[in-house]
Amino acid sequence: MEKQDDWLITRCLSSLEKVFADEELSAEPFHRGSALRGETYAFQVAYRAAAQTRLITVSVESPLSESIALRVVGLVPSELPCQRAHDEYVLRTTAGLYPDPLFPIEGPDASIGAFPGTVTGIHYQWRSIWVTVELDDDAPAGVHPIVVRFSDAAGERHAEECFELEVLEAALPPQTLIHTEWFHSDCLANYYGVEVFSEAHWGLIEHYLKTAVRHGMNMVLTPVFTPPLDTQEGGERPTVQLVDVKKEGDSYTFGFERLGRWIELCDRVGVRYFEFSHLFTQWGAKHAPKIMAEEKREVKRIFGWETDATGEAYKTFLGQFLPALTAYIREHGLEKRSYFHVSDEPFLEHLPWYRSASELMQSYLGEFPIIDALSNLEYYEQGLVKRPIPANNHIEPFLERGIPELWTYYACAQYRLGESNRFFNMSSARNRILGIQLYKFQMAGFLHWGYNFWNTQYSLRAIDPYRVTDAGCAFPSGDAFLVYPGAEGPVESIRLEVLNEAMQDLRALQLLESLVGRERVMELIEDGLEESLTFYRYPRDAAWLLRLRASVNSAIQAALVGVG
């Protein structure tokens, strides 16, 4: 229950609540949960000063204390929380401050304005502490109390909340879903003011990839050439090209040293798959990406917006580049880890250009998988892409077609039918339901375009993501990035943590399936539902998700006892 004295008011909450500073807290208290070994579990403690602004020291006491981190849920502005014609499954539609970044209580990324090691309690404003428990594979099973205490500067205790976490003996199985959130290397260089592929840049890339992997991302967008994504026609983004090119007349030679360093780094941090950047421009496949080459001792752009994608010059280039790249892939044993892109989000009217590009690439790539985000079934039916990635609001025709190894994605346009998404103004349950949907429809992969896109739309200028969260009033806040820039690496977000919970739900369901069979798991998921779960029909409340996951954990435990 809510705890109150004349100094501080607190309430324990699940990770699926969003605590707004400008509204009364209505969420029910939440004091108990369960988790598998190898899982990251989170809950919150909301707090509010009872009478006046207070400096607060927050501490934790638990047998699991070495695995627990406390962070402050920060507030960031949104000028564009949503577009017109949105559905009703949103928390609010007004511009204002939204809870999202997770700031450490101590260290260089500590919440701005607080004294070292303290948080600020403000009268009339609810704020929240995010409590994360990272359980390793040998975490002790059993019920463990986690006591979060709030004290004043003199050390006098004014409030505490006790949460009980039951750690089960079973461990989460490895993730089989391929999951990519597009990694924008140039945005790191821009924000931190470092030279692309300098030692400082490589260090940042490693920090940000480690965070991605820890949150269930196992594929990375790999910029063999500067990705032709979110770029104004005729404009360009900073060069982030991993492959060196030398041009002599119509002949090209290629250097893969930087690509090799990229792959070695990814191996070190746990990335399993590489998606090589698109070889044709976004929204049409009509042009080549920006490609820099050394010619007559001068490095210059040899292809770009001025390049006709169907012209002989670019065909000649790809006819030499793709065999060289695939030879490198085979030489380093990367065949089963490599994926290719033609062009992002082509529409039906772009089919002739996409056909030319796809047929050219397929002639050199053989059985290497080509994946692209597109939502017209014709591209698959005409053999132009064997691994289509339809948006989750256009996926039904692809499901009906029975396409093997199907992926899905969402972006800025999936907000009209209740589809899963992660805008600031959407509930965390709408973010987390994705894991259940991926399980039911046996998706092979999930793609999103924005891990750290810190630009305005079309990359016209770089932005400060703590001040601009909507790409310059272009995309609803929460679409363009999952992490914020910290002093030396990423500051994580509520949305990132909850998305990882979705991926953990998927893995827990797969574990249960291995014990009791898929039919029994589906019965558990859809028990009591008025209609079958789809990508846009599902229970809208967080309590249903929490109950389902608790039931899954109980079923896993019971099945293991039965096996024993």
Dump pLDDT digits (tens) for 376-416: 999 999 999 999 999 999 999 999 999 999 999 999 999 98
Kindly list the structural domains of the chain, giving each domain's residue range(s) and its CATH number in brackets, ordered by start. 179-493 (3.20.20)
How far apart CA 532 and CA 403 sit, in angstroms, is: 21
Radius of gyration of the chain (CA): 24
Q: Which residues of the chain have pLDDT under 50?
A: none
What type of residue is 235? G
Q: In which region does residue 283 sit, left (phi positive, over 0), alpha (psi from -120 to 50) or beta (all else)?
A: left
How confident is the model at residue 117, as a pLDDT? 80
How confident is the model at residue 5, as a pLDDT? 58
- CA 97, chain centre distance (Å): 22
How far apart CA 12 and CA 46 sit, in angstroms, is: 6
- In the block, residue with structure tokens 């880890």: 337
**Which tens digits make up the pLDDT trace of 2-39?**
555 578 999 999 999 999 999 999 999 999 999 999 99
- Mean residue pLDDT of the chain comes to 96
How far apart CA 564 and CA 557 sit, in angstroms, is: 11
Beta strands at 407-409 and 387-389: parallel, antiparallel or unpaired: unpaired
Quick check: 125 and 48 in contact, CB under 8 A?
Answer: yes
| DSSP reduced 3-state for 371 | strand
How confident is the model at residue 1, as a pLDDT? 52
**Which tens digits make up the pLDDT trace of 265-303?**
999 999 999 999 999 999 999 999 999 999 999 999 999
Name residue 73's beta-bridge partners: 102
